[in-house]
Every structure is written in structure tokens, then in C-alpha cells.
Amino acid sequence: MNTTETVENPPVVTAPESSQQPIAQFRGEALTKLPDDLYIPPEALQVFLEAFEGPLDLLLYLIKRNNMDILDIQVAKITQQYIDYVELMQSHQFELAAEYLVMAATLAEIKSRILLPRSEEVEEDEDDDPRAELIRRLQEYEQFKTAAETLDELPRMGRDLHNVRADAPEYEKERPLPDVALKEILLAMGEVLRRVDQHESHQVEEEALSVRERMSDVLSLLSSERFTPFVALYNVEEGRLGVVVTFMAIMELIKESLIELVQTEAFGPIHVKARID
């Protein structure tokens, strides 16, 4: 429910003459000032100040506004203010819940029991304060209201906290191929020599091998578009001499910048490719 304050009805409302900004559009024309005969009814200027969740919430508000102790309520004063509020809501055609009217009747009953004189016999039989039940309900409601306000102050997902998700940007970094060290080439050659020793056989005839011819043979096996394994350039059946000649031919080709060696990782296999001028 809401309490209201009614502003006195002004007879005539006019806009300042100095205002040049249009305040409304009427039939396509801009109005820079209010009409002189404009009438605003009283019920159009009402300010809603408080919102109550029920009759107990309204009673707590009245008790706190009057600086009363909840254990020592001045029922007569509170009842009058409560009834004034109910009559105000009814006069402005607000629909009141039935529980507000029930509480008004309860307050009226407690007020009458307090104000009406009682006989000594009744006082001896009725030691209970007629406000006791109302005080108990108010205390219980105040506890729950305080707990609800405490919970409402806690951070809430979707109100105070929000899930944030951001995808990591796509980032591709080019990793340059490492340079092939001479030590790696010698290790690869040593591996080929060990394979040659396993296939070593008796040489009956000595075949003359030319480094220049072997350079041409190596170039014929290579391509500028694909990599060839370093060990694939050797023919183990030629023995140590053939391996040495092939190795010297490869070194000469590297020296003349006709081929290039690539190793993708440390201690990985070495590949050869013809260089493009």
C-alpha cells in the first residue's frame, strides 16, 4: 500500500514567458507555453511516499515514526494514525486488502479494552496485557523483516554480480625454423656411417667417384617445393667412400647456396631442399 500527500489545487498554471522550448505538440504545432485556462484536478498531483507490505509493516512504520518502544505501544495514538491512513486510502479509491481492515478492527478492540474501566474481579482474572499478542506479532514480523533486509543486502547474481565471458583472441605466432649447426650435420653423417658399417662388403673394383658429379646427382634428387630427408641422399651400398663423397658434395652445394638444410626441432631429423634464387 502507499501513503499519499495531496497538493492544493492551483487555480491556474502558466509557464514562464522566457521559456522558448516547446513543451508539447498539438495537431502538429509546437506549444511554447501552457494555456491560460489549463485546469489541473487535485487528484492529479499526488506523491506516493511509502510502500507497505501489509498491516504489520504499516504498524512498525508508525511506531518508529513516533519514536515508541515496541514493548510499550501507545495504542490510542497508533490506532488513530492507522485509521487515518485507511480512510485516506479509501477516499482516494485505492483498493485495500482485507487484512488492513482486520487489523483496524483489532486495534480498535485493543484500544477499547484499554480505555474501558474494568471491575476488580475482571482485573484479577485477566492479568494479561491486551497488547501482548499484537506486540508478539510485531516482534516476530520485525525479526523476519530485518533478516530479509540483511539477505537483500548480500551480493546477488544477476543484480549485483554478472557473469562475464570473453573469448581469447586468436593469435598465431610464426616460429622461425632453427639454423642447422655443423655439429648436427656431423651427427647425421655419423649415423649414416654406422649404417654403412652394417652393410660393408668386400670391394672387388674401385669405382671412381667425382664430387662434381655427385653434386649434380644430389641436385637432381632435390626440389624447391618439398623437403628431402638428409639421410635419403646417401646410398649405403657405396660404402664409406660413397658416403664421404656425397657429404662433400652436399657441403659444396651449401657453400654455393644451391641447397638449404632445415631442422624443425632440436636433435630432430635434417631435411634438404633446393634453394630458389
Q: Residues 1, 82: contact at Cβ < 8 Å?
A: no
Beta bridge partners of 95: none
In whole angstroms, what is the distance from residue 182 CA to residue 161 CA? 61
Task: Kindly report the pTM of this predicted structure.
Answer: 0.38
Of the candidates 216, 209, 203, the one whose C-alpha atom is nearest the C-alpha of residue 245 is: 209
pLDDT for 236 equals: 80
Tens of pLDDT along 242-273? 888 888 888 888 888 888 888 888 778 888 88
In whole angstroms, what is the distance from residue 125 CA to residue 129 CA? 12
For residue 5, pLDDT beyond 50:
no
Tens of pLDDT along 139-185? 888 888 888 888 888 888 888 888 888 888 887 888 777 778 888 88
Tens of pLDDT along 119-130? 665 554 455 677
Of the candidates 242, 238, 246, the one whose C-alpha atom is nearest the C-alpha of residue 222 is: 246
Phi, psi of 84 (to 5 degrees): -60, -40
User: At 4, is the pLDDT very low, low, confident or very high (cuts 50, 70, 90)?
Assistant: very low
pLDDT for 118 equals: 64
Of the chain, the percentage scoring pLDDT greater than 70 comes to 77
CATH number corresponding to 182-199+207-274: 1.10.10.580
More confident residue, 277 or 86: 86
Q: Is the dihedral of CA 47, 53, 54, 57 positive or negative?
A: negative
Provide the residue ranges of all domains of the chain, joining segments of one domain with +: 2-117+128-150, 182-199+207-274
CA 75 to chain centre: 51
Write the secondary structure of 41-60 as one string of H (helix), E (strand) and C (coil): CHHHCEEEEEECCCHHHHHH
List C-alpha distances in Å: 266 to 5, 8, 42, 261, 263.
Answer: 85, 92, 90, 14, 7
